[in-house]
Amino acid sequence: MLTSALSSAAAAEHTFIVAGLGGEPEYEERFREQANAIAGFARKAVGDEHVVALIGAEATRDSVKRGLAELAKRVSAKDAVMIVLIGHGSFDGEEYRFNVPGPDLTATELGELFDALPANEQVIVNATSASGAVFDRWRRPRRVLITATKSGGERTATRFAQHWTQATTTNAADVNKDDLVTAAEAFEYAHRQVEAAFKADVSLATEHARLDGDDADRFAVARFGAARASSGDPEVAALLTQRGALELELNAVRDRKASLAEAAYYDELEVVLVKLALLQRQIDARQAALTGDAG
């Protein structure tokens, strides 16, 4: 379910989901549905052996620690891992705690477990209340970190997990319609939906999501259609690597707009856009061949 457009085609993908305590039947059901939806979609994409979902009574402190320790043994530096925490969190001014059956998991404990994962490509999504308390503590190079709140002081049950689930199990967040949803696209979609929900309720927003990680726009957290069918093909992987490099080149040209003469800017832009269009034709043709879609 998670891969980088610039990573090796052989890189394994792993998804680890924890849905903690709900406290009330309504929350218990909500958390369970969200975790099951993400896990179900991931299993179809990468297989049962690469997905772990600890939900409700299974999501104890010991089982989470054991599961992450086992994951650390299975992954390598070339692998990609996505971790999603759903539920309630708390913050006492010093330590964040993820509420699970029995003793809670602290930010310190979870951070150490995440740091022990050899995978160079990580997306960690903490969708709980008070999750912003871990933002500075869990930031690392090559890690995309997303929290549902901006600080530990935002303690109300969050809406972010609901919309993150939608973003990573449907193509609603696929802005450029390339059958890939990146971590950046999923974040922006969930963030916008949360803002819209508070506006619709005419209520003060009690959560403000945050994202850290320069590679968020290159990590795909969901694939659909031909992109999913051809995800393991080395030729497609090589073409996607080229597209990723061209997209970075395009961004670099756009960043220089203010320093270039208008004609020069549009000339440079056109060169990269033509390369992208030609490359996309190759990608489309290869994906069509793999899926048997001659039209």
Q: What is the Cα–Cα distance from 158 to 147, expressed in whole angstroms?
A: 10
Dihedral of CA 164/166/169/172: which sign? negative
Q: What is the pLDDT of residue 247?
A: 75
CA 294 vs CA 89, 230, 237: distances in Å: 50, 15, 21
- Indicate if the pLDDT at residue 165 is higher than 80: yes
CA angle 70/167/95 to nearest 5° reads: 50
Q: Where is pLDDT greater, at 276 or 270?
A: 270
CA angle 101/106/111 to nearest 5° reads: 125
Q: What is the Cα–Cα distance from 265 to 202, expressed in whole angstroms?
A: 44
Domain covering 3-226 assigned CATH 3.40.710.10 in the classification: no
pLDDT digits (tens, 9 = 90+) for 96-126: 999 999 999 999 999 999 999 999 899 999 9
Supply the pTM of this predicted model: 0.79
Q: What is the pLDDT of residue 34?
A: 97
- Residues near 22 by beta carbon (within 8 Å), at least 6 away in sequence: 28, 29, 30, 31, 56, 87, 88
Residue in 119, 156, 116, 112 with CA at minimum distance from that of residue 134: 112
Structure tokens at 177: 């319609």
Q: What is the Cα–Cα distance from 110 to 105, expressed in whole angstroms?
A: 7
Q: What is the pLDDT of residue 285?
A: 85
- Note the helical H segments in the chain: 25-46, 61-74, 107-115, 135-138, 160-169, 183-200, 225-229, 234-255, 262-291
Q: What is the pLDDT of residue 4?
A: 47
Range ranked top by mean pLDDT from 31-40, 210-219, 233-242, 255-264: 31-40
* Mean local confidence (pLDDT), 259-272: 94
- Indicate if the pLDDT at residue 237 is higher than 90: no
Q: What is the pLDDT of residue 8?
A: 34
Residue in 236, 140, 249, 126 with CA at minimum distance from that of residue 180: 236
Q: How far is CA 31 from the centre of its chain?
A: 18
By 3-state DSSP, what share of the chain in percent is helix, strand and coil, each rounded to 5?
50, 15, 35
* Pairing state between β 96-98 and 89-91: antiparallel
Residue in the block written with tokens 């390339």 = 178
